[in-house]
Structure 1
Amino acid sequence: MLTLLSGAAFTDLYKDRIYNFWLIPGFLVGVITAALGGLESLLAAMTAIVFSFVILFPVYLFKGIAAGDVKLFMTAASFMSVQDTFSCIILSFLIAGIISLFILIFKRNKKRTIHFAVPVLISALFTIGGTL
């Protein structure tokens, strides 16, 4: 999962996009890995995926994040529990807020966008690493 998130962060930073060729294989690996863990593991992964979609789709509708960011979270959720997914989402928005403050304070270009794959990667490292 960390390779997937790192690749998505790289393409988001340098191409301003999160490509589906990163997301689809990662999503499939997450779901297949969960399925190999049994029905309970598969249901937990699917619940986390649906949870991330339900939470983030309204944010997308209000232009808070892009569609690729929603898909990235859904892909990451296929590897995590619902609790870890929730922690990752909350921490990602906190990290993005901190990055936004730095941009507002130190950059003259106020219309700069946040590459949200970077906060997702950082929050996943903290969440999966057991820090949260």
Structure 2
Amino acid sequence: MSVSETNAQNDFGYELIRDHVLADILGAHETEILYWAGKSLARKFPLYTLDEAPDFFQQAHFGELTLEKASKDETVFSLKPAKMENRCFKLEAGFLAQQKQKIDGCLTEAYEEVYQKKNLIRITLKTDLRERV
């Protein structure tokens, strides 16, 4: 079996769980639960800096993550996932929000924008510098 065949099989299993099993289990609350699951995942796999996030995303098969912009209260990432159609990206957004919150010690939330034609997700992290956690 070639490396590409092995990768395709691994991706297929991941897609089955991510796109079908979770959607069925979580139902109408899928987006909210995946966001909080992403935050929980970040607590289990803490990063020391956000510079480590692209490697984590690649290893987790989340896609190619790139830092677009960073300021005191806003950080913007672009994500190029292997698959976009019929997928929610709240897990990834929650993961990044929690990592930023842990690193900076300030309340951080995230939202994502989907650009289907560009095969791109933009994840914006908003940090409230007045709200220490």
Give the TM-score taking structure 1 as reference length.
0.26
Q: Which has a greater percent of strand?
A: 2
TM-score computed with the length of structure 2 as normaliser: 0.26
- Structure with the larger helix share: 1
Q: Which is bigger in relative contact order (C-alpha 8 A, separation at least 6)?
A: 1
